[in-house]
């Protein structure tokens, strides 16, 4: 059965668009070029300015970006660094994580959340996730706290803030520091409070596919505490103050001027990027419901009161069909990705932690079911329609057909 045939049967009551006009035959997961191209003249000019000036580390663009990110994050201070991974490491160094200290974080996250802990000799203690948001399950948090626990790293995964009130309350009661992993959630809010303003430190990434993406690696730390801000700056520059006098052993993790210039040019459009991601998410929800796929895929949920910035639109494909669906989508030129196929506690390098799988059932279940589909800001409506049509096609023909939808052959 061809896509067009299927569309005719599923899109009969689509409103506001002419489904028969969709000539789209592919949809990439990402296309950073579409976002960068319109800004190229401005960016080239800024880069040329930096080449002429000769200051490649720090400088006015770094300072401008630090204030801009601090502002959008409702934080007092922004401190540039070399990557999101370094931001996490520096945050844990600044709050004094030492060998043997336990830090609670989800296992359903990007590796860097946990490796920052082990780099300092700390022990990651993994908390399971809440299946509908993919964020850490606050009801499982307190039972993991021991005398050795020093901090919690809530990861605002896929662009959505964790349920921070109970996390902050538990942290306060047990005298624990909270480091927010905001790598995927710049501009997201929780009951009006921005990601990166709620814990002791917020950690951001400017990896090219993040919501604010550079032309290489880059990162940012946010905090409202002047002492922590000062310490972060010191640690990010070899613990050196004044020059060639080292107070503590820091690292070299600075944001370079060219990255900062690129990011400054994009920063002005961040609200627009987020709005477009959101509108794509709304579009998917509508199209998926209209196509009658809600019994075959689980849509991501976004609790009211919080602003989701949709770094990913992650659906679940249950019944062990995810990998097959992904392959078939690829055959139809629809990009998708599994974030993340192997939870951190199951990674080879963390086998020594002897983590009990039984304590992380939702994490392991999610790893087998999640599929992120294209949602970047410049994705067109026709491409979205194509994605949903392909999804409908693939889910139907790969078995589990609903009565009445059987196809010939």
Ligand X SMILES: *Cc1c(COP(=O)(O)O)cnc(C)c1O
Residues 133-172 that bind ligand X (CB under 6 A): 155
Distance CA 292, CA 334 (A): 20
Stretch that binds ligand X, among 30-38, 78-86, 232-240, 363-371 (CB under 6 A): 78-86
Min CB(352)–ligand X separation in Å: 22
How many beta carbons lie within 10 A of that of residue 144, not counting itself? 15
Distance CA 45, CA 42 (A): 5
Q: What is the DSSP string of 219-246?
A: EEEEES-HHHHHHHHHHHBTTBSSTT-B
Using CB under 6 A, which of 10, 83, 149, 224 touches ligand X?
Answer: 83
Q: Does 80 contact ligand X by CB under 6 A?
A: no
Q: Taking contact as CB under 6 A, which single stretch among the options 81-89, 100-108, 242-250, 318-326 is the one that binds ligand X?
A: 81-89
From CA 369, how far away is CA 117, in angstroms rounded? 27
Q: How many CA atoms lie within 13 A of 85 on its CB side?
A: 11
Asked if the peptide bond before residue 99 counts as cis, ω within 30 degrees of 0, the response is: no
Closest distance of CB 209 from ligand X, Å:
8
Q: Segment near ligand X (CB under 6 A), from 43-51, 107-115, 316-324, 392-400?
A: 107-115
Minimum distance of ligand X from residue 216's CB (angstroms) = 10
Nearer to ligand X by Cβ, of 22 and 109: the residue is: 109
For the residues of 168-210, what is the DSSP string, one character each?
HHHHHHTT-EEEEE-TT-TT-EETTEETTSSSSEEEEE--TTS
Beta carbons of 207 and 84 less than 8 angstroms apart:
yes
- Minimum Å gap between C-beta 339 and ligand X is 8
Per-residue contact track with ligand X, 173 to 202, x per CB under 6 A? --------x-xx------------------
Span near ligand X by CB under 6 A; candidates 40-48, 93-101, 109-117, 271-279: 109-117
- Please state, in angstroms and rounded to a whole number, the distance separating the CA atoms of residues 300 and 368: 15
- Rounded to a whole number of angstroms, the minimum distance from the CB of residue 207 to ligand X is 4
| Phi, psi dihedral angles at 89 (to 5 degrees) | -60, -45
User: Under the criterion CB under 6 A, does residue 112 sit at the interface with ligand X?
Assistant: yes
How far, in Å, CA of 163 to CA of 306, rounded? 9
Q: Which of residues 246-275 bind ligand X (CB under 6 A)?
A: none
- The yes or no reply on residue 229 touching ligand X (CB under 6 A) is no
Query: For 152, which DSSP code?
Result: E
The token pair that represents 33 in the structure block:
């070029």
* Only segment of 77-85, 100-108, 119-127, 161-169 that touches ligand X (CB under 6 A): 77-85
Closest approach of Cβ 136 to ligand X, in Å? 12
Would you say how long the chain is, in residues? 409
Q: Which residue from 219, 283, 335, 374 is in contact with ligand X, where contact means CB under 6 A? A: 219
| Residue from the set 6, 110, 126, 386 that interacts with ligand X by CB under 6 A | 110
Residues at the site binding ligand X, with contacts judged by CB under 6 A:
83-85, 109-110, 112-113, 155, 181, 183-184, 205, 207, 217, 219
């Amino acid at each position: 059965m061809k896509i067009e045939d299927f569309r005719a049967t599923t899109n009969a009551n689509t409103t506001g668009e002419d489904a028969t006009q969709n000539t789209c035959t592919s949809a990439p997961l990402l296309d950073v070029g579409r976002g960068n191209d319109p800004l190229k003249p401005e960016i080239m000019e800024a880069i040329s300015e930096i080449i002429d000036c000769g200051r490649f580390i720090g400088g006015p663009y770094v300072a401008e970006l630090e204030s801009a990110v601090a502002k959008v994050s409702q934080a007092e201070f922004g401190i540039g660094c070399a990557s999101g991974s370094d931001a996490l490491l520096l945050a844990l160094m600044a709050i004094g994580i030492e060998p043997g200290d336990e830090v609670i974080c989800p296992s359903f996250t990007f590796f860097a959340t946990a490796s920052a802990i082990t780099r300092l000799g700390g022990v990651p203690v993994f908390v399971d996730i809440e299946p509908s948001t993919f964020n850490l399950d606050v009801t499982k948090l307190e039972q993991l706290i021991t005398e050795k626990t020093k901090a919690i790293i809530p990861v605002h995964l896929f662009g959505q803030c964790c349920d921070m009130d109970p996390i902050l309350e538990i942290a306060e009661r047990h005298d624990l520091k909270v480091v927010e992993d905001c790598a995927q959630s710049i501009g997201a809010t929780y009951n009006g409070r921005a990601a990166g303003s709620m814990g002791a430190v917020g950690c951001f990434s400017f990896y090219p596919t993040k919501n604010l993406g550079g032309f290489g690696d880059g990162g940012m730390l946010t905090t409202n505490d002047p002492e922590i801000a000062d310490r972060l700056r010191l640690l990010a520059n070899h613990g050196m103050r004044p020059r060639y006098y080292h107070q503590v052993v820091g690292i070299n993790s600075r944001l370079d001027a060219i990255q900062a210039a690129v990011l400054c040019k994009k920063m002005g459009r961040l609200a627009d990027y987020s709005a477009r991601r959101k509108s794509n998410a709304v579009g998917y929800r509508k199209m998926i419901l209209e196509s009658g796929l809600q019994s075959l895929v689980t849509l991501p949920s976004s609790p009211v009161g919080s602003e989701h910035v949709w770094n990913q639109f992650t659906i679940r494909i249950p019944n062990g069909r995810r990998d097959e669906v992904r392959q078939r989508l690829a055959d139809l030129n629809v990009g998708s990705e599994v974030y993340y196929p192997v939870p951190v506690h199951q990674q080879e390098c963390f086998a020594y932690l002897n983590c009990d799988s039984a304590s992380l059932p939702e994490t392991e279940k999610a790893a087998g079911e999640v599929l992120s589909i294209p949602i970047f800001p410049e994705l067109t409506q026709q491409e979205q329609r194509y994605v949903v049509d392909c999804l409908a096609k693939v889910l139907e023909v790969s078995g589990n057909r609903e009565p009445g939808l059987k196809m010939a052959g």
